[in-house]
Amino acid sequence: MRKVWLVIKREYITRVKTKGFVFGTVAVPVFSIGVILFSIFMATRQTDHTLKIAIVDDVGGLAPSIVQNLASKKLANGKPEFAVEKTLEQPQPAAGIRDDLRAQVNSGGLDGYLVIPKDAATAEFHTKNAGDFMLYEPLSSAINNALIAGRLSDRGIHVDNIAAVVKGVDLKVVKVTKEGEAEDKGQTFMVGFVLAFLLYMTLIMYGVLTMRSVLEEKTTRIVEVLISALRPFQLLLGKIVGVAAVGFTQYLIWMTSAALLATYGSAMASAVRPGSSFPQIHVPGALLAYTAVYFVLGYFLYASLFAAVGAAASNEQDAQQLQWPVTLPLVFSFIMFQGVLRDPNSTMSVVLSEIPFFSPILMILRLAAETPPWWQIALSIVLLALTMLGVVYFSARIYRVGVLMYGKRPSVVELFRWLRYS
Partner 1 sequence: MDAIAIEGITKRYSSLTAVDQLSLRVRQGAIFGLLGPNGAGKTTTLRMIMNILIPDEGSIRVLDQPVSDRTQDLIGYLPEERGLYPRMQVRKLVVFFGALKGLSEAEADRRAREWLTRFELADWMEKKLIDLSKGMQQKVQFICAVIHRPPLVILDEPFAGLDPVNAITVKDIMLELRGQGSTIILSTHRMEQVEMMCDSICLINKGRNVLDGDLRAIKQSYGKNTLRIEFSGDDGFLRDSGIENVNRFGAVVEAKLRPGADPQEILKAAVQAGARISRFELLEPPLNDIFIEKVGHA
Of 38 and 406, CB closest to partner 1: 406
Of 27, 103, 404, 419, which lies in the binding site for partner 1, with binding defined by CB under 8 A? 404
Measured in residues, the chain has a length of: 422
86 binds partner 1 (CB under 8 A): no
Does residue 417 interact with partner 1 by CB under 8 A? Answer: yes
At position 107, the amino acid (one-letter code) is: S
In this complex, which beta carbon is closest to partner 1, that of residue 226 or of residue 312? 226
CB-based contacts of 3: which residues, under 8 Å, 6+ apart?
229, 230, 234, 238
- Are residues 81 and 75 in contact, defined by beta-carbon separation less than 8 angstroms? yes
| Contact status: 228 vs partner 1 (CB under 8 A) | yes
Q: What is the DSSP letter of 8?
A: H
DSSP 8-state assignment for residue 133 = G
Report the nearest approach of partner 1 to the CB of residue 10 (Å).
6
3-state helix, strand, coil in the chain (%, to 5): 65, 10, 25
Phi, psi of 74, deg, nearest 5: -120, 150
Of 220, 335, 374, 408, the residue at the interface with partner 1 (CB under 8 A) is 220
Q: Which of 224, 292, 317, 331 binds partner 1 (CB under 8 A)?
A: 224
- For position 49 contacting partner 1 by CB under 8 A, the verdict is no
In the complex with partner 1, the residue whose CB is nearer, 98 or 231, is: 231
Residue among 26, 76, 230, 258 that touches partner 1 (CB under 8 A): 230
d(CA 292, CA 299): 10
- How far, rounded to the nearest angstrom, does the alpha carbon of residue 328 sit from its chain's CA centroid? 24
Which is closer to partner 1, CB of 234 or CB of 359?
234
* Residue 76 is a binding residue for partner 1 (CB under 8 A): no
- Residue 46 has a CB neighbour count (10 Å cut-off) of 16
What DSSP string describes 223-250?
Answer: HHHHTTTS-HHHHHHHHHHHHHHHHHHH
- The answer to whether the beta carbons of residues 59 and 66 sit under 8 Å apart is no
Q: Candidates 73, 86, 98, 231: give the one binding partner 1 (CB under 8 A).
A: 231
Residue 258 binds partner 1, judged by CB under 8 A: no
Of 238 and 372, which CB lies nearer to partner 1 in the complex structure? 238
Q: How many residues bind partner 1 (CB under 8 A)?
A: 21
Among 222, 288, 292, 328, binds partner 1 (CB under 8 A): 222
Question: Which residues of this chain interact with partner 1, rule CB under 8 A?
Answer: 3, 6-7, 10, 14, 216, 219-222, 224-231, 404, 417, 422
